[in-house]
Amino acid sequence: MRTELSICLRGYVGRAARLGRDTALMLLTVGLLGASATAAAPRHGGTLNVGLEADFPGFDPLIMGALVERMVAMSFYETLMDMNAQGEIVPHLAESLKVSDDGTSYTLKLRTGIKFHDGTPLDAAAVVFNFRRLMDPANGCRCQANVVGIKSVDATGPHTVVFTLKTPDAAFPAVLADVPGMATSPTAIRKAQEAGLKYADTPVGTGPFRLVEWKRGVSLKVERNPDYWQKGLPYLDGVVYRPIPDQQTRMASLTAGDIQLSAVPSAQDVAAAKSGTTRVQLVESPGLGSAFAMFNAKREPTNDPRVRQALFHATDRALILKTLFRGIYPLANQPFGPGLAAGRQDVKFPAYDPAKARALLKEYGKPVKFTFSVTATPDSVQMAQVLQQMWQKVGIEVKIEQLEQLQLIGKAIKHDFNGMYFRWPGRGDPDMNVYPFFHSKSTRNYTQYANPEMDRLLEVGRGTFDPKTRLAIYTQVSQLLASDGSYLFLFPSTNFFLTSRKLQGLPKIPDGLPRVGQVWLAK
The model's pLDDT over 472-490, given as tens digits with 9 standing for 90+, comes to 999 999 999 999 999 999 9
Q: Which helix or strand (DSSP H or E) is residue 110 part of?
A: strand 105-110
396 contacts 311 by C-beta, under 8 angstroms? yes
Cα 45 to Cα 251: distance, rounded to the nearest angstrom? 24
Average of per-residue pLDDT across 438-454: 96
Average of per-residue pLDDT across 392-403: 98
How would residue 523 be classed by pLDDT, with cut points 50, 70 and 90?
confident
Cα 249 to Cα 54: distance, rounded to the nearest angstrom? 13
Cα 168 to Cα 150: distance, rounded to the nearest angstrom? 10
Q: What is the pLDDT of residues 56-115, one digit of tens each?
A: 889 999 999 888 999 999 999 999 999 999 889 999 999 999 999 999 999 999 999 999
Q: What is the pLDDT of residues 185-235, one digit of tens each?
A: 999 999 999 999 999 999 999 999 999 999 999 999 999 999 999 999 999
Rounded to an integer, what is the distance from CA 173 to the centroid of its chain? 15
443 contacts 409 by C-beta, under 8 angstroms? no
221 contacts 239 by C-beta, under 8 angstroms? yes
Q: Residue 104's closest CA among 21, 8, 211?
A: 21
**Residue 260: helix, strand or coil by DSSP?**
coil
Q: Residue 2, class by beta-carbon neighbours within 10 Å (0-12 exposed, 13-18 middle, 19+ buried)?
A: exposed
Average of per-residue pLDDT across 301-319: 98
Q: Which helix or strand (DSSP H or E) is residue 155 part of?
A: strand 150-157
Average of per-residue pLDDT across 353-359: 98
Say whether pLDDT at 309 is over 50. yes
Cα 499 to Cα 284: distance, rounded to the nearest angstrom? 11
Q: What residue type is assigned to position 363 of the chain?
A: E
Model confidence, pTM? 0.84
Cα 185 to Cα 332: distance, rounded to the nearest angstrom? 40
Rounded to an integer, what is the distance from CA 358 to the centroid of its chain? 36
Q: What residue type is assigned to position 278 of the chain?
A: T
What is the percentage of the chain residues whose pLDDT exceeds 70? 93
**Confidence at residue 39, expressed as pLDDT on a 0 to 100 scale:** 53
Helices 467-484 and 305-313 cross at an angle (nearest 10°) of 90
- Strands (E) located in 197-346: 209-215, 219-224, 238-243, 261-263, 281-295
What average pLDDT does the chain have?
91
Q: What is the pLDDT of residues 122-167, one digit of tens each?
A: 999 999 999 999 999 999 998 988 899 999 999 999 999 999 999 9
How would residue 28 be classed by pLDDT, with cut points 50, 70 and 90?
very low
Say whether pLDDT at 35 is over 50. no
362 contacts 354 by C-beta, under 8 angstroms? no
What is the percentage of the chain residues whose pLDDT exceeds 90? 85
Say whether pLDDT at 304 is over 70. yes
Q: In 106-176, which residue ranges form alpha helices assigned H by DSSP?
A: 124-135, 144-147, 172-175
Say whether pLDDT at 316 is over 80. yes
**Confidence at residue 377, expressed as pLDDT on a 0 to 100 scale:** 87
**Residue 202: helix, strand or coil by DSSP?**
coil
Q: What residue type is assigned to position 362 of the chain?
A: K
How would residue 6 be classed by pLDDT, with cut points 50, 70 and 90?
very low
DSSP 307-330: HHHHHHHT--HHHHHHHTSTT-S-
Order across the sheet with 219-224: list the strands: 209-215, 219-224, 238-243, 47-52, 261-263, 487-499, 281-295, 419-424, 368-375, 396-403
Phi then psi dihedrals of residue 309, to 5 deg = -65, -35
